[in-house]
Each structure stands twice: as C-alpha cells, then as structure tokens.
Amino acid sequence: MSHAAAPRPLAARAGAALRGRIRVPGDKSISHRSLMFGAISLGETRIEGLLEADDVLATGRAMAAMGAGVVRDGEGAWRVSGLGCGGLLEPEAVLDFGNAGTGSRLTMGLVGGHAFAATFVGDASLSRRPMGRVLDPLRDMGVEVIARTKDRLPLTLRGPRTPVPITYRVPMASAQVKSAVLLAGLGAPGVTTVIEPIATRDHTERMLVGFGADLSVEIDAAGARIIRLVGRPDLKAQAVVVPGDPSSAAFAIVAGLIVPGSDVTVENVLLNPLRTGLFETLIEMGADLSIENERLSGGERIGDVRVRHSALTGVVVPPERAPAMIDEYPILAVAAAFAEGPTVMEGLEELRVKESDRLAAVARGLEANGIACREGEASLVVEGRRAGVVLGGGSVATHLDHRIAMSFLVLGLAADRPVTVDDTAMIATSFPSFRGLMEGLGAEFVDA
C-alpha cells in the first residue's frame, strides 16, 4: 500500500506580471485510457505526449502487471504491446493506484471483464473514496467483490467467466462510472448499454471507437445519452497523440487573468466541449481569453489559449455545466475571489468525493485568506474582492489533493500577502512540471 512521504509545504507570493508561452503535460484522462486501451488491443500502440505523472504511471504499472508490454521510448513517448481484448492476465501482486481515482476505477471495469482476481490498493485519500458507484454495476455483471471495509480500498475483485451484458443508468454524473461499466462490457457477450442522463467527458467512447470497438451513441427525447457497446470486439493497436490537459492549463490561465499586467498563452490544449466549462465561465466573467490556432488532432479539437489580465465580474455558473468543469471549481473559486461581486456555483455534489472533500477544502482555504464565502451542501458562493480587505496570508490544508495545492498557490501569486499550502507532494500525481512552468512565466514560489 502507498505510504505518505514527508509533506512539502510551499508559499506563493505576488511579484511581476506573468508572461510567456507554455505547454502543459498531456491530458490525464486520455493518458490513462491510452495505456489501458493499448493493453487490451492486438499489436503495438504508440503514444506521444503521455502525461508522465504518478497517477498515470500507476496505470502503466498495472497494465504491465497484467501482462502488457509497457515501455518508455523518450519524453512522453511510450509503446504498449497489447494482449487483445480479454487477454489480460491475473496479476501476481496487488495493483497500487496511489492517489488515482480514474486509474483504479477504470481498471476495476477492465478486471471485471476478465475471469481472474486482482487486488486494488491506494493511498489514504483513495482508500477513503466511494467505490460502490463502480462496484454496484460490476456486481450486476457477475463480478465478485471482497473488501474489509464495504466498497472501500483495499479490495479484491474477481471477474466472472462470462460477464452479463447489462443496461445501466448512471445515477450520478461520472465519466469514471460510465467508463468502468463499458470496460467490463468489453468482456461480455452481447450489447452493454449505459444510459447517461447528464453528459460527461466522452474520451472512453471516442477512443474505443478509434481502437475498433462497435460503439454507438444515441440521444433520447429527454436528452440522455444512450451508449451501446458490442462486447468482445477485436481491438487494434493505434497511434495516439495526447493533447495538453485543460485541467492543468487552467492554473496558468487563471493566474494570467488575476496577476496584473500578465499575458499568458498555453499552447496545444484539448478543447473537447465536455471539458471546456471553465473557459466558458471565465469568458462570461469578462476574461480576455481567446483561442488561437484552433485545429483538429486525433479527432479532438485543440488550440492555444491566450489570456491577458482582466477585470472579472462574478457570475452564476449554471449547474448543468458542472460535468464540463468538474475538476476546475477550485481554481474557478480563486478567480472568483478577484472578481467584482459574488460568484454562485451550484450542482457541486460530486466535489465532496474527489481526492478530498473539495467543497470544504476550497471554502476553508478561501476563509483562511480573507475571502468570504458560503458553503452549502452542494453549492459555493464566493464573495468577490472588497475594498480594504487584505487577501492572502493564510495557510491552506491540501488534504492530499493536488488541485487544492495548485489552486491556492495561484491565489498567492495575486494576493496582498503570500499564501502557503501545507503540502505540494501530490502535485506530482497530475502536473509534476507545475512549479517550473509557472516560474518560467514569472511566478514566485518560496519553500516554506
């Protein structure tokens, strides 16, 4: 099981304007799926731009532990020799996913489609997160689950010889749950159907089609997505180019908007419409944010996102936008702290079950830095900046959550007094080059 290293606190303070062009690492969601789909395809999948961060590397190790060849070929370049759909092998050791919800939950789906047992472990954060949302539909498909604490890691799964193709209506907006059912469905004879009342990121669907699966999506009269997957397909190795992660780009983008005088461009960012809710919201707040050099790559829209320091105004963020910006609420809350007037965010129930209870972590972090906010069960109202109030000076508890750490460091870059976060170690799970890239733009960090 993962053991926590010594915490690494860091402070951020306001300094010069942020200026320059950067590229952030590859998209985390697409990186996990590239390794997984490579492992279950026949032939050699070549990946460029893979996110080489702890979460994704754990998925690579898990695929290797189940028999795939996973080899690094240079920076961000990886080759995966796959075993074909249904060809994974029983791992000899436990699969350690560290902090990674996506890696662990999607792999549970994969294991559920194979007639063998695998044991999943993770760090303290992952071991607290609810797994029942994935395990319940997997049980319906015939998967056996053994756990010391109900539906929490560590746990062991055993896939049945013949998984049952089910029809499953996903009860919460979760791409991880949708994907786990589809991945188990790859091992089932017949058609597995997932009904998604609220659309979430569609990388699994797009990429499975790209690897040769027979998968269709229909929108019903109520607007729900009905995803039908024919099981036991012949998946073929692909060449995958992973675009830059919009969820990582978000930190430099918001920093550029709130630090006076800034002009920042993040190149090569994934602009899948189910991921760009933050950019829409920032534009509504009055951000000077433009997309340049827009193009298509591997079936996805990508582009360079340019921001200049802007006077922001608080807005009401429509709850139906939440799935398209679910990982971006912490950094949006930081932007909202510098806006004129309140920003209202609703439909945030899923934030309670991320790497930390992000709703509470954000609210406490804002309060510690002089920013008034109101935390509801599934909502957050951030009062904008008020004249005479000194922002910053606080110490923020990050609760093993990379996005809490990066968001509050960005706050410190524009606050009146430095902001300290209690631990930056978790930033390595998704964005190891965060500090270096931000310093390259002119950000000032001080080891605390």
**Residues that bind ligand S3P in the complex, under the rule CB under 6 A:** 29, 102, 174-176, 179, 201, 326-327, 350
Closest CA to 135 of 110, 105, 113, 114: 105
Instruction: Based on the residue annotation, tell me whether 422 is a catalytic residue of this protein.
Output: no
The torsion angles phi and psi of 87, rounded to 5 degrees, stand at -95, 0
Task: State in angstroms the smallest separation of the CB of 326 from ligand S3P.
Answer: 5
Task: State in angstroms the smallest separation of the CB of 64 from ligand S3P.
Answer: 20
Q: Which residue number, 225 or 306, has a Cβ lying nearer to ligand S3P? A: 225
CA geometry: angle 94, 98, 101, nearest 5 deg = 105
3-state secondary structure 309-326: CCCCECCEECHHHHHHHH
Rounded Cα–Cα distance for residues 434 and 279 (Å)? 19
The pair of structure tokens assigned to 316 is 């009401």
Task: State in angstroms the smallest separation of the CB of 176 from ligand S3P.
Answer: 3
CA 214 to chain centre: 26
Task: State in angstroms the smallest separation of the CB of 141 from ligand S3P.
Answer: 19
Q: Which residue number, 110 or 413, has a Cβ lying nearer to ligand S3P? A: 110
Q: Which residue number, 200 or 310, has a Cβ lying nearer to ligand S3P? A: 200
The arrangement of strands across the sheet holding 117-121 comes to 95-96, 117-121, 155-158, 144-147
Q: Give me the DSSP letters along 369-416.
A: TT--EEE-SSEEEE----TTPPPB--EE--TT-HHHHHHHHHHHHHSS
The catalytically annotated residue of 327, 416, 422, 423 is 327
Amino acid at residue number 377: E
Q: Which residue number, 102 or 420, has a Cβ lying nearer to ligand S3P? A: 102
Task: State in angstroms the smallest separation of the CB of 207 from ligand S3P.
Answer: 11
Q: Which residue number, 108 or 441, has a Cβ lying nearer to ligand S3P? A: 108
CA 364 to chain centre: 22
Side-chain-side CA neighbours of 260 within 13 Å: the count stands at: 5
Closest CA to 333 of 349, 317, 357: 317
Task: State in angstroms the smallest separation of the CB of 301 from ligand S3P.
Answer: 18
Q: Which residue number, 349 or 367, has a Cβ lying nearer to ligand S3P? A: 349
Q: Which residues are catalytic?
A: 327
